[in-house]
Amino acid sequence: MTALLEVDRLQVQFGATAAVRGASLSVARGETHCLVGESGCGKSVTALAVMNLLARGGERKAERLAFEGEDLLKLSERGMARLRGNAMAMIFQEPMTSLNPAYTVGSQMTEVLRRHKGASQRAATDRAADLLARVGITAPGLRLGQFPHQLSGGLRQRVMIAMALMCEPKLLIADEPTTALDVTVQAQILRLLAGLQRDLGLGLLLITHDLGIVARVATRVSVMYAGEVVESAPTAELFAQPRHPYTQGLLRCVPVPGKIQRDQPLGAIRGTVPRVGHGFAGCAFRERCDFADETCQRTIPRHSAGATHDYLCRLPA
């Protein structure tokens, strides 16, 4: 069976900066794949490259970039525009900047369906109201007539989700959808996303820096560092047996409620992420790694730690 989304050795450059350096991942139907990493690791750029929404100056290259078997690299902008917001939809972190402040919620939501499916205004409004109710918004009729600034952050994020679902997408890419929200609202939104994903059989690519979110919603996790996927595994396996020293370090950094020893320092990763440009060779984590030796400056092999678990490090499994 072909995956819904296949990304093979994606590279994205902005001038001399290599933002993504050979990242591969795939998303199957009904799967939640979490892409996790710290700021600047290339996780958002990966998503934007898939949607062909890179900022000016961004160049993408890949061995393969396919949605339902269709080659996205060969698709014209017009063809891409037919897919975007239709079969593949995206939700961004800050709903205030991605909703148009000058249009009502209703007109933004219905536009998607009218444009992609040629639906009547009436039918589109009905569907918008249905979806708003579905994402847990009470009085959807009232909300349709309101402007984004009249809604709270949690409501705006729900509107974004409902809008992304208007055309029944098969793939939903959500880039830090709950980072700007309070923990209580975050839990509500994630619960909602997980439920929708299950009911609609969506493939969900969820980008986050929060390992708590990853643990609770992902079926599969890919950890990115300095533009590369350094480890990829089923969720339970990644948390139980992380192989890459960076993944191990990340897991030690997170205080776990109930297991906190207050007088003990948290595990931290020393140093900072290096700037990686053209011609960089070897492991980008080596300066911060306790296991690094001189061989880490050469090309690093990808090791397998099971049929569905691989990592990029010289250390054997």
Partner 1 sequence: MTDAIDVRHVAKTFAVGKGRVVAVDDVSFSIPAGGVLGVVGESGCGKSTLARVILGLLAPDSGEVEIEGQKIAGLDRRARARLIQPVFQDPFSSLNPLTRIRDIVALPLVAQGSLGRAKIARTVDEMLSRVGLSAEMGRRLPAELSGGQRQRVAIARALVLRPRIVVCDEPTSALDVSVQAQILNLLAELRRDLGLTYLFISHNLAVVEHVASEVAVMYLGRLVERAPTERLFAQPEHPYTKALLASVLTPEPGLGVPDVGLGDTMPDPANIPSGCRFHPRCPIAEPRCATETPPFKPRPAGGVECLLVP
Q: How far is the CB of 37 from partner 1 (least distance, A)?
A: 9
Sign of CA dihedral 96, 98, 102, 107: negative
Q: Which helix (H) or strand (E) holds 236?
A: helix 235-240
Q: Measured from the CB atom, is 131 or 211 closer to partner 1?
A: 211
Q: How far is the CB of 283 from partner 1 (least distance, A)?
A: 16
Shortest Cβ 266–partner 1 spacing (Å):
4
In the bound state with partner 1, the residue whose beta carbon lies nearer, of 252 and 298, is 252
Rg of the chain over Cα atoms, rounded to whole angstroms, equals 20
**DSSP string covering 103-124:** S-HHHHHHHHHHHHH---HHHH
The residue to which tokens 């001038």 are assigned: 15
Q: Which residues of the shown chain bind partner 1 in the complex (CB under 8 A)?
A: 38-39, 136-138, 152-155, 182-188, 190-191, 194, 209-218, 235-236, 239-240, 249-258, 260, 262, 265-270, 272
- Sequential DSSP letters for 15-29: TTEEEEEEEEEEE-T
Q: How far is the CB of 276 from partner 1 (least distance, A)?
A: 15
Q: Kindly tell me which of 201 and 267 has the beta carbon lying closer to partner 1.
A: 267
- Cβ 216 to partner 1 shortest distance, Å: 5
| Nearest-approach distance from CB 101 to partner 1, in angstroms | 19
Residues 239/309, Cβ–Cβ less than 8 Å: no
- Would you say 184 or 299 has its CB closer to partner 1? 184
94 DSSP assignment? -
Residues near 184 by Cβ (< 8 Å), separated by ≥ 6? Answer: none
Residue closer to partner 1 by CB (options 191, 298) is: 191
Which residue intervals of 84-176 are DSSP H helices?
95-98, 105-117, 121-134, 140-144, 153-164
Residue among 67 and 246 whose Cβ is closer to partner 1: 246
